[in-house]
Copies of this chain bind each other. A is one copy, B any other.
Amino acid sequence: MTANRIYNFNAGPAALPEVVLEELQASFLNYGNSGMSIIEISHRSSWFEEIIDDALGRTRRLLNIGDDFKVLFLQGGASLQFAMVPMNLLAADRSADYVDTGTWSTKAVKEAQTLGKTVNVVASSADRSYAYIPRDIAFHPDAAYVHITSNNTIKGTQWSRFPDTGNVPIISDMSSDIMSRAFDPAPFGVIYAGAQKNIGPAGVCMVIIREDMLQRVPESLPSMLKYTTYAAKNSLYNTPPVFAVYTVQLVLKWLEETVGGLDAMEALNRKKAGRLYGCLDTTGFYRATADADSRSLMNVTFRLTNEDLEKQFVEQAQVNGLGGLKGHRSVGGCRASIYNASTLEAVDALVSFMEEFERKHG
């Protein structure tokens, strides 16, 4: 950890690789010898063309996706995708299956319903405060798509394997675990991810969409709400969020060239999460909130024996240079978000602090 920097466990916006931050800073007044800041260059310039094309190429290689997928950069975050997915891909005479695994899934359902679309919530873990990922789900074979949230930041759960939906395309909100592990992209019709957890800053959303899904898009939608607009113009129909796309490019470069790809990233993420859950499981002082088989490798949610102690825990951690450990305001408790850029060193520092805090207060 560089002097004056903290270990950042925020849920998003979140820690980014320090080498990326340093590169952003160093070139900030003069990007690529252009004589302009990265936030002053034209999105129609060859400088930005190289940035976006490099980011797209790295995305394809890292996720091992072929030419049958388009990779797009949009604005509005995953929250806008909750509406764009049904607007673009769910015709009035069809229905879609949604799996409800907590806050963000629930919002995705609500937005589709607001649009008057037919939604079947085919499984939910609401019965036990979303502490688990539902199994053995009976999907409708004629559904337009199956929507899931691959990782649930607030509840600390994650799909360890993706469900078998037969021929029905899966659409997944991967905002909080994209690029954290390798997976087979074939069953997916759309993958979308707000960048601000694993791949960049707030202000850009990556949408990976299979060609056959683009054929469903109705012509009657406004330009900015149609996936086909972005696909036809390489995400340059209007001015894209240049700085955010550039930062994503640098994070993907770090993932590919420094980390060594998604298998290596996953191994490190498993090690980090393993140490934290190991610490939680060897004591009655801390209690992990998610079922063991549904635990997230990205957001480790836990409780202490009472709320007063949790408050002390978060405050003293901050004093010790460990930030962002407060649980989401809707559920309380504690949460350590350990996305890709969170280091093993940071996790070890947290585990040491947790052990010491238990010795003092246990």
A residues at B contact (CB < 8 Å): 2, 4-6, 8, 10-16, 18, 21-22, 24-25, 28-30, 33-37, 39-44, 75-80, 82-83, 87, 107, 111, 114-116, 194, 196, 201-204, 220-225, 237-244, 247, 321, 323-324, 329
Residue of B202, B238, B239 near A240 (CB, 8 A) is B202
When A76-B75, A242-B202 are in contact, do A223 and B83 touch as well, CB less than 8 Å? yes
Interchain Cβ contacts under 8 Å between A and B, 13 examples = A5-B36, A13-B242, A21-B39, A25-B28, A36-B323, A75-B80, A76-B80, A77-B238, A79-B237, A83-B225, A111-B224, A201-B242, A241-B241
Chain B positions within 8 Å of A244 at CB level: 203, 241, 243-244
Who on chain B is nearest to A321 by CB?
Answer: B35
Who on chain B is nearest to A2 by CB?
Answer: B29
Who on chain B is nearest to A75 by CB?
Answer: B75
Chain B positions within 8 Å of A222 at CB level: 80, 82-83, 87, 111, 114-115
Q: Is the CB of A16 within 8 A of B40?
A: yes
Chain B positions within 8 Å of A37 at CB level: 16, 21
Who on chain B is nearest to A48 by CB?
Answer: B13
Chain B: minimal CB distance from A329 (Å):
8
Give A357 to B83 CA distance when docked, in angstroms. 53
Give A329 to B222 CA distance when docked, in angstroms. 24
Residue of B25, B107, B225, B239 near A13 (CB, 8 A) is B239
Chain B positions within 8 Å of A221 at CB level: 114
Chain B: minimal CB distance from A85 (Å):
11
Chain B: minimal CB distance from A96 (Å):
15
Q: Is the CB of B30 within 8 A of A5?
A: yes
Q: Is the CB of A239 within 8 A of B114?
A: no
Chain B positions within 8 Å of A204 at CB level: 203
A-B pairs with lowest CB-CB distance, top 5: A203-B241, A6-B35, A83-B222, A75-B75, A39-B201
Chain B positions within 8 Å of A116 at CB level: 220
Chain B positions within 8 Å of A111 at CB level: 222-224
Give A116 to B220 CA distance when docked, in angstroms. 9
Chain B positions within 8 Å of A80 at CB level: 75-76, 222, 224-225
Give A196 to B29 CA distance when docked, in angstroms. 17
Q: Is the CB of A202 within 8 A of B40?
A: no
Chain B positions within 8 Å of A33 at CB level: 4
When A5-B30, A35-B323 are in contact, do A203 and B25 touch as well, CB less than 8 Å? no
Q: Is the CB of A39 within 8 A of B83?
A: no
Q: Is the CB of B83 within 8 A of A13?
A: no
When A13-B242, A25-B29, A28-B24 are in contact, do A224 and B42 touch as well, CB less than 8 Å? no
Chain B: minimal CB distance from A74 (Å):
8
Who on chain B is nearest to A175 by CB?
Answer: B239
Who on chain B is nearest to A1 by CB?
Answer: B35
Residue of B6, B225, B243 near A36 (CB, 8 A) is B6
Give A82 to B202 CA distance when docked, in angstroms. 23
Chain B positions within 8 Å of A194 at CB level: 239
Residue among A22, A25, A321 facing the most chain B CB atoms (10 A cut-off): A25
